[in-house]
Structure 1
Amino acid sequence: MPRYRLFLATLLSLFSLTVVAQTNTPAFLRPNPRIDRWVDSVFTTLTPDERIGQLIMVAGYSNRTPAYEDSLVTLVRTYKLGGVVMFQGGPVRQAKLTNRLQALSTVPLLIAMDAEWGLAMRLDSTVRYPYQMTLGAMQGHDSLIYNMGASLAKQARRLGVHVNFAPSVDVNNNPGNPVINFRSFGENKYAVARKALAYMNGMQNNGLLTTIKHFPGHGDTDTDSHYDLPLIAKSRAEIDSLELYPFRQLMQAGASGVMIAHLNIPALDTTRNRPSTLSPAIVTSLLKDELGFKGLIFSDAMNMKGVTKYYPAGQADELGLEAGMDVLEFTYDVPAALQQIRLGIASGRLSQESLDARCRNVLRAKAWVGLDKYKPIVLDNLVKDLNPASSELLNRQLTEKSLTVLKNDRSILPLQRLDTLRIASVSVESNTITAFQKMAANYTKVDSFTMTSQTPDSVLTAIRDSLKQYNLLLVDVHLSNIRPPRYGTQPRTAALVSELVSTGKAVVTVFGNVYSLDKLTMPNDTVTGRSIEQAQAIVMPYQLTNYTEELAAQLIFGAIGVEGRLPVTVNQRFRAGDGLSIPSLNRIKYTIPEEVGIDGAYLTQQVDSLVSVGLEKRAFPGCVVEMAKDGKVIFQKAYGTHVYDASLGGDPTPDKLDDLFDLASVTKVSTSTPALMQLVDAGKFNIDGKMSDYLPSYKKSNKADIVWRDVLTHQARLKAWIPFWQTTKNPDGTWKPKTFQNERTNRYSIVVTDSLFEFKNYPQTIFEQIRDSPLNAKKEYVYSDLSFYLYPQIVKRLTKTPFEDYLKTNIYQPLGAYTLTYNPMRYYSRDRIVPTEYDSLFRKTLIWGRVHDEGAAMLDGLSGHAGLFGTANDLMKLIELYRRGGTYAGKQYITKKTLDEFTRYQFPELGNRRGLGFEKPSFTYTGNAPRSASKNSFGHSGFTGTFVWVEPDQNLSYVFLSNRVYPTRNNNLISTLNTRTYVAEALYRATKRGLRPE
């Protein structure tokens, strides 16, 4: 080999070895002049006993009495201890306790926590991340686990915590394991190593020391080391092949710490009843010498029965250091430990030099986390800082990617053809309506039931009878206890689930530990054949949280896809790796603004502020606002009350998201316009045809040759409106014959109010008045309701189907928008319907549950211009259909070509801003639309205080529902304040502004 090539090869080899060495060596041990100087300066000030004290960490609790805190302070101060492991409490209380302890410590304390799934593992008011077993179900997406580690590191450091006793790298290959179990990433050593590495790197790269555990592997035991010394009866070869694999991988990547478990492992140490924490063969020979680990070695808690059963306090601590550990965690008796350690030094079993070296490493770790420049924890905004919106988004992402479908007969998931489903949601082991049930109700009509193992038989019998009318049961099993052996299942849980499954129409979701599937799998008996395996579909979210409940429901309805796989084997039916991939059906997803790049706090503050002004000025009693971006609902909020007070009738109950509002003229773009677009697509309606083409009685009228395109853009010379009810009155105020009377009869059968009834044939008079009405002299833009009275007749004539039936069959029910309806009191109690105006002129009553518009009221509540009621959420489904170009959940309702035609400016050259049926932004800003609205946007407003808007350019959809006409239509402050369009503008601004650093 030429000399220069040999030199180059040697150089590369040395570089490679250096890189490997740097990678193996934990970051806090790598050369650093700043750290070196600080360690030297501190170490020289410590007495031999104080150096030993640096190797001891005691437990700290922030939820106990002042007397306890005083005793902890005395203990730390007296023995100059190196650190404190924080347990239960609250963030502010812990921060205050930490500051107090740090203030009296000559050498800053190393603060540790066992926070495997976030600070919430120990503290209230903090973020809880998914369990490692849940994350084990994720296929790929390790970057999300890294982000979890990074986020947790930032929260821990904000709280003054420097060490997290995580991740667990135990391979859980024993289903009966009572202590690791859901704390493990699973039974596949490669997946465990990969995911644990991502988690560890996320923490360490953001300044948090980690401790991989529980060496040499706590996954294959059915004994809890908190209560006894577990026996690992495996060969050295088996341990080496399986349990040690993840430890090797993470140590190779520079793990800063390892925690030793309390295990009896004869294959590694033949000493009877010696826990691995006290074993030189395991700690020094295996971990340090053979595996070459250089970082800090922590004991598991020294108060656990796994060590104290055979070794008393003090003696165990000395033997732990003798075995090679660096830090004694949760030393139970500090004076006894120090005494035994001194005896160990005196006897020669321990050397002061080795303890000094360990002390230096602890000091280096302290300097690496910044304790060389210690600052107290700032209490201001602490809880807020510990709960960033980014953590909620991350929780949602982690949960979504972990969801697993174990069965999906006939591809029932995601649910399709909602119009064919009669759905009951049955919650098992919950006494109240669940988050899962509430989310399911966002998608379609779902009736909810609850039952528990304690539900009386009489109640269960009534539920069974009720369930017979449904063809789909969504069974959500709520297991609040995630620990073995029962995993939260009660004696009757499996029987209840199996009974529901035996109907042949159940989709089961189990919110609990994955091993609970075995408890819910009843043996097949020849009589009933009951088993959870007979469910039409089985969904496994792995634990019970709001995130798992909400996202599991969204999975079932096709708002999200699924790709999770079981991380462990439960039984012969449910094995590691099982799971089905199901794509999203692209229904609306419900999430938070941060998922679409919007600052949720900013958006909420903007909307709250604008709505508050409207409420304070009494522009409306209450409202509901719903916003979506990119097909995801990111904002839903109800404000105010139904009415200001009960003086005019009505109930000042708070507005709710599922309240039904009178949509007023939003009816035009929710009924007539979509029906016409479908008829255009079907070739049954021509917008360039004449009125007489579809209304035979108009052939001899002054409107015979008017073109529908002009009609739909409000430039057909039609009168703005006709006060139909006024023509029914005599000069003395009495009703004319064949108009109204105050008692209901067969002839007066149209109900206008509870005490006002219209002649059954009078609607024909209204249509004749429209037909015979004069035209305006000039062809120009004049907004007119009149043509929209006629579209129900046209739709019925062209489709042979009554107008409302057509809408529900062809649009609303397939969308799952069941609350969109005329005359809502046929289906809903009045307390769910928001009142509108007190009509002092015509109907002499509060309009509540019936249409506000007088003309629509005289048409039995059903017209193409007014009369539709619904919730903001169901209206959003229709608005989203428009934004998506006429397609929703895989079904095309309207072609994009037709929708584009209806939503474009038709006559801009004439100064007419209208589309076909739709409102569009004025050419010069007037407040009829958001200021930032593009020329491609469209929507409509309603007289009662409603508004919808679609912004295709930025994928925005917006619904605003209110009853601004209460108690009188003369109050038009909602328009003066521009509340509806200003709130929409807030969405545009938030979208443009994007996320801001936290």
Structure 2
Amino acid sequence: MIKNILFIFIVLNSTFLQAQKFDPLIVKDSLTQKQWVDSLLNNMTVDEKIGQLLMVQAYSNKDRNHTIFIKNLIEKFHIGGLVFMQGTPEKQAQLNNIYQSISKVPLLIGITAEWGLEMRLKNTYRFPWNMTLGAIRDDKLIEEFGAQMGKQCKRLGIHINFAPVVDINTNPDNPIIGNRSFGESRENVTKKALAFIKGIQSENVFACAKHFPGHGDTNIDSHTALPVLDFGKNRLDSIELYPYKQLIAKGLSTIMVAHLSVKALEPNVELPTSLSYQVVTSLLKEKLNFNGLIITDALNMKGASGFAKPGEIELLAMLAGNDILLVPENVPAAILYIKNALQEKIISEERLNYSVRKILKAKYWAGLSNFKLVELDNLQKDLNSIENELLYRKLIKNSITLLKNDSLVVPIQNLDKKKIAYVKLGDAENTDFIKTLRNYTAIDVVSSENLDELIEKLEPYNLVIVGFHKSDLGFRDEYHFKDSELVWLQEIARTNTVILDVFANPYCLLQLKTFKNINGLLLSYQNSKLSQNISAQMLFGAIEIKGKIPVSIKKVFSVGHGLQTKSLKRLAYSIPEEVGLSSQKLKRIDSLANVVIRKKMTPGMQILVARKGKVVYNKSFGFHTYQQKLPVQNSDIYDIASMTKIIASLPLIMELEEKGVLSLESSMGSLLPKFKNTNKDTLTVKEVLSHYARLKPWIPFYMFTLDSITHKPSKEFYRGIKSSKFNIKVADKLFLRRDYPSIMMDSIINSEQRLREGYKYSDLSFYIFKDFIENYYKKNLNELTQQHFFKALGANKTTYLPLDKFQKNSIVPTEKDNSYRNQLLQGYVHDMGAAMQGGIGGHAGLFSNANDISKMMQLYLQKGYYGGKQYFQSKTINKFNHRYYANNGVRRGVGFDKPQLKAKEKATCGCVSDESFGHSGFTGTYTWVDPKTEIIYVFLSNRVFPTMNNKDLVKNNIRIEIQQLIQDAITD
């Protein structure tokens, strides 16, 4: 058989030198390139020339014997290149340097890194599958991806990446291409491939289009057998060959030829296309006018190796017209066969020189004329730079696809009217998806072993998110629904409003008989942590949805279908570099926080930083108490003390101002008749909320209720059991007489004013406004804040009276109160006055976590808009965020704190803009927003633990020291 094939090659081989339209391997300095190539070629022996054709597989995870084996191939057989397989980047770099240093001619180093170096090397970065990238509308992002791959390859001493796959995946059951393809549209695949090639080759690293003539419609893996493409020439020309024709015309420089049986191109159905003169020379070189580097697919694959024995197969591949013979099974045998063919005139030395010259030109193009060893220092850091994740985020954001959106169920709006459940299908991890969903609102994970029971459990919910999660580890991993899951999905959808989010290959959707009852269908393609994170953000409108499906799903969703959404301007979650902050510099916060914990300034804390609408730092440090039993979690809640003023009371006041119920010039007497004809009658809203009304700082109401001898709560005012007369709960087993809040208000009404004008912070103003707000609405602040703001914002961790809603171990203890309630305060407000109002104060009483506080602060930053809803007019925010008495030394706005006017004041770090505003709290809390830099900062702690005598956090200005660190981290 081999002799007959060789005869055919001898007859046809006379045309191999046919001139092509252009040479993609030529560089601008072509004369210098030619001189370098000629000088090497003219001094090579025949053995050295043959060696240049061979690219051998090498490993960086094998033992010393393998290294010796490769070194022997280089020194004795003069092989021209290596394709690195599994291992680590550090070891590969070391071996690369060793191998290059002993090679007479620089080695051409290759790797198959279709979705990143991680495809072969541990501890390197992994990007999305091609199928995922095929959903992206903006091809510039694919070019950016190619360039990043080029930088990584170049850093590791790699000159050619055997990518991209340009197969048109028209067969959903293809066992080897699938996710490796950009999809089933020839135009989309071609555009994506061209963009990738342009990007990677901008870094002087070769791309290699594969698998010629087209592996996209096969049902056999060529690694295990020879796939058959039983199509006519017209079909091949219009589909499989389409990308190659377009790419060649655009200057494609390298193509890999597959092991396929294509009768329309090669009459001998047993002869793989990689060994076919008709395919490689007649079609690729002559008809398609390709003069770049032609590389076989690995010759040890069963699709090729089963045709001939080692040595013979390499000769056949060369005779077919290939330049580089990839992964020969037996190098000595390959060299012997080719050398004998030269001696027997089966092949000419001119033919050999033709391929060697192309290989040397490619080496010059890749910079090997000025070869340098791989720098080993900082290799891991360089290969895993932050630029990788920034790019990965962009790719994922632009790929996720919304296929169906009945009643505009996506993005999820009106959170105050939603009760949401999550149901998992599939067998892969889903933690990051749930965690991110819960950043936006309360999400209940509902599960059962029984379908009927599950349906019953879902009855209270008006929205169900179903996540289908399949393994993201390998491109060939099983991605199908189980039959039982298909039944469950349809039944859940039949009885509920459902959003299905698919974290798997889009072809899994072919299993669904109908999409009728699925209200929202989101295709997230992969189950990576980042895909889960970003997809969850998209469901809540923090990120726009832009993707388009790269394959068709029956006749329901055609190629290119994809609905787009607009942002609701909810907070997103990202990394610092995406918003012009330095991760490294923000780590200084970690260091300072750890010092704070070590020096016992507070047992624990939460710190959040957001910028440009994205939370980029949200960490918890320390423990609930110094006993160190419960570490602080981001979901835990703290008593935020006086921050209550701007998170609960002030929004309601601003709302009433917009309604015309009050104005900044309204007097206390006009708002509350009980203040008529008192010394507070003519005080205006503006004066009171700016702390310029000469009100006393506070009144120690609790002290008037203590026994004069024991200094403990007097029985005149308190009982240990709730009754109709003693019904105000101030702490565990401690109930205040029901009339005492009225006594407190009378004390405020009758209190003397300060004699001196000027600024003096006072809590009394928010006692007054609590009274007004609750009288106006006939509801308490707890109900009002939930109904007007917190539920709609998705601030489900923000509340008064947290023990009514949350488990006790999720509430951080505040203080061991030895002066009033004589117990550990956990879930009961620290402020005595607020406690005496049943835990619901206008000035204190609110519990929250940093994530929820940031939502309200983002609402302020966005001039009253958040989550698709305009809560306030822009002018209202401006009106309250204004100093009306700055000339009188008052730094405060109306309710908001503002940067200091005097050096001795420490309201901020002194590094934020005059437009900025926020508030602090006695328990060790602080939040600030700066419209100029678009930065939100939240700090929560229980610095008053074990008692309020612990003042080190305040004395050391820790909160504003961290604010300075945030400002120092700005890079733009």
Q: Deviations over 1:88-128 (max 9, x none)?
A: 22222222332332233232222111111111111222111
**3-state SS of 2:402 partner:** strand
Distance 2:564 2:663 in 1: 44
Match of 1:687 in 2: 664
- Tell me whether 1:717 sits opposite 2:694 in the alignment: yes
Find out whether 1:963 has 2:963 as its counterpart. Answer: no
Q: Report whether the alignment pairs 1:566 with 2:549.
A: yes
One-letter amino acid of the structure 1 residue matched with residue 485 of structure 2: T
Tell me the distance in 1 between the aligned counterparts of 2:658 and 2:403: 41
Task: Give the conservation status (yes or no) of the 8 Å contact 2:110–2:162.
Answer: yes
Q: 1:502 aligns with which of 494, 511, 517?
A: 494
Contact residue 189 and residue 245 of structure 1 kept, 8 A: yes
1:658 aligns with 2:655: no
Q: Which residue of 1 aligns with 2:588?
A: 606
**Cα deviations by residue, 1:524-574 (Å, 9 ceiling, x for unpaired):** xxxxxxx44421111111222122211211111111222322211232223
Which residue of the other structure, out of 102, 105, 109, is the alignment partner of 1:104?
102
Cα 1:485–1:851 shift into 2, 3 Å:
closer
TM-score (norm 1): 0.92
With normalisation by structure 2, the TM-score equals 0.94
1-structure distance, mates of 2:468, 2:180: 21
Aligned residue runs from structure 1 range 64-103, under 5 A: 64-103=62-101
Q: Deviations over 1:40-99 (max 9, x none)?
A: 443344321121111111112223334434433334433221111112222222223323
Q: In structure 2, do the counterparts of structure 1 residues 226 and 533 end up closer, same or farther at CA, with 3 Å as the change threshold?
A: farther
| Residue identity opposite 2:503 in structure 1 | F
- Is residue 810 of structure 2 the alignment partner of residue 832 of structure 1? yes
- Whether 2:760 is the aligned partner of 1:777: answer no
**Contact 1:836–1:852 (CA under 8 A) maintained in structure 2:** yes
Instruction: Give 1:808 deviation, angstroms.
Output: 0.7
**2:568 is the alignment partner of 1:585:** yes
* Counterpart for residue 152 of structure 1: 149
Instruction: Write the distance in 2 (CA, Å) between the matches of 1:88 and 1:68.
Output: 13
The answer to whether the aligner puts 1:513 opposite 2:505 as a matched pair is: yes
Structure 1 counterpart SS, 2:256: strand
After TM superposition, the structure 1 = structure 2 runs for residues 308-457 of structure 1, keeping only pairs within 5 Å, are: 308-430=305-427, 433-449=430-446, 456-457=449-450
Question: 1:525 corresponds to which residue?
Answer: none
Distance in structure 2 (CA, Å) of the matches to 1:672 and 1:477 = 42
Task: Report deviation, 1:517.
Answer: 0.6
Structure 1 position 213, deviation (Å): 0.9
What CA distance in whole angstroms lies between the structure 2 residues aligned with 1:22 and 1:230? Answer: 30
One-letter amino acid of the structure 2 residue matched with residue 474 of structure 1: I
Aligned to 1:38: 36
1:243 and 2:247 aligned: no
**Is 1:222 matched up with 2:223?**
no
State the Cα distance separating 1:278 from its structure 2 match. 0.4
TM-superposed CA distance for 1:500, in Å, is 2.1
Q: Please give the secondary structure, in 1, of the residue aligned with 2:467.
A: strand
Query: In structure 2, what residue type is equivalent to 1:796?
Result: E
- Within 1, Cα distance between the matches of 2:516 and 2:311? 53
- The residue type paired with residue 258 of structure 1 is I
Counterpart of 1:124 in structure 2 is: 122
Deviations along 1:406-451, one digit per CA (max 9) or x if unpaired, are 1111111111111111001112124765211111111111112457
Alignment-mate amino acid for residue 500 of structure 2: V
Q: Establish whether residue 489 from structure 1 lines up as the match of residue 481 from structure 2.
A: yes
Aligned partner (choices 666, 674, 683) of residue 697 of structure 1: 674
Picking from 41, 48, 51, the partner of 2:49 is 51
Equivalent position of 2:6 in the other structure: none
Q: Residues 709 and 693 from structure 1, CA distance in 2 versus in 1: closer, same or farther, beyond 3 angstroms? A: same
- Counterpart position of 2:9: none
In the alignment, the residues of structure 2 paired with residue 853 and residue 406 of structure 1 have an alpha-carbon distance, to the nearest angstrom, of: 51
Aligned-partner SS, 1:625: strand
Aligned length in residues: 951
What is the rounded CA distance, in whole Å, between the counterparts of 1:931 and 1:360 in structure 2? 67
Matched, 1:301 2:301: no
Match of 2:925 in 1: 946
C-alpha distance in 2 between matches for 1:433 and 1:772: 59
C-alpha contact 1:24 1:251 (8 A) present in aligned 2: no
> For the residues of structure 2 that align with 1:801 and 1:180, how far apart are their CA atoms?
63
2:484 is the alignment partner of 1:477: no
Aligned to 1:760: 738
Question: What is the aligned partner in structure 2 of residue 528 from structure 1?
Answer: none
Mapped to 1, the partners of 2:674 and 2:429 lie a distance apart of: 57
CA contact (8 A) 1:510 1:539 kept: yes
C-alpha distance in structure 1 between counterparts of 2:789 and 2:365, whole Å: 63
The answer to whether the 8 Å contact 2:422/2:466 transfers is yes
- 3-state SS in 1 of match to 2:403: strand
Alpha-carbon distance between aligned partners in 2 of 1:963 and 1:66, rounded to the nearest angstrom: 58
Distance 1:634 1:893 in 2: 25
Which residue type is aligned with residue 117 of structure 2?
Answer: L
Report if the CA contact (8 A) 1:591-1:634 is conserved. yes
Deviations 1:434-491 (Å, cap 9, x if unpaired)?
211111111111112457xxxx44xx55544322211110001002167679524334
SS of 1:941 mapped into structure 2: strand
SS of residue in 2 equivalent to 1:982: helix
Q: Give the equivalent residue in structure 2 for 1:618.
A: 600
Matches within 5 A, 1:796-945: 796-925=774-903, 926-945=905-924
State the SS of the aligned residue for 1:194: helix
Shift of 1:664: 0.7
Tell which deviates more after alignment, 591-600 or 703-712: 591-600
Q: Which residue of 2 aligns with 1:198?
A: 195
Could you tell me the percent identity over the aligned residues? 40
What is the match of residue 259 of structure 2? 262
Alpha-carbon distance change, 374 to 450 in structure 1, aligned in 2, over 3 angstroms: farther
In 1, Cα distance between equivalents of 2:780 and 2:729: 19
Taking a change above 3 Å as real, the CA distance of residues 736 and 924 of structure 1, as seen in their structure-2 partners, is: closer
Question: Contact conserved, 1:277 with 1:299, CA < 8 A, in 2?
Answer: yes
Q: Is the 8 A contact 1:150 1:202 kept in 2?
A: yes
Change (3 A) 1:483 1:500: farther
Q: 2:910 and 2:758 mapped to 1: Cα distance?
A: 25
User: How far does the alpha carbon of each residue in 1:2-61 deviate from its partner, in whole angstroms, 9 at most, with x for none?
Assistant: xxxxxxxxxxxxxxxxxxx99943245554344334334433443211211111111122
What letter corresponds to residue 621 of structure 1 in structure 2? P
CA distance in 1, matches of 2:439, 2:501: 18
Q: In 1, distance between residues paired with 2:500 and 2:888?
A: 59
Q: Distance in 2 between matches of 1:26 and 1:850?
A: 75
Rate the CA distance shift 1:58–1:756 in 2: closer, same or farther, 3 A.
same
Extract structure 1 runs of 4+ deviating beyond 6 A: none
Partner SS, residue 854 of structure 2? helix
**Residue in 2 that maps onto 1:7:** none
Counterpart of 1:435, as a letter, is: D
Structure 1: gaps (5+ residues): 1-20, 523-530, 646-650
Shift of 1:674: 0.7
Change (3 A) 1:22 1:380: farther
Provide the C-alpha distance between the structure 2 equivalents of 1:442 and 1:653, rounded to a whole number of angstroms.
21
Cα distance in 2 between the residues matched to 1:23 and 1:727: 99
| 1:795 maps to 2:773 | yes
- Cα distance in 1, alignment partners of residues 21 and 696 from structure 2: 81
Structure 2 residue runs without a partner (length 5+): 1-18
Q: In the alignment, which residue of structure 1 is the partner of 2:579?
A: 596
User: Relative to 1, partners in 2 of residues 1:375 and 1:928: Cα closer, same or farther, differing over 3 Å?
Assistant: same
Match of 2:964 in 1: 985
Task: Kindly state the Cα deviation for residue 963 of structure 1 after the two structures are TM-superposed.
Answer: 1.6
Match of 1:8 in 2: none
> Which letter maps to 1:510?
V
**CA distance, structure 1, for counterparts of residue 539 and residue 713 of structure 2:** 55
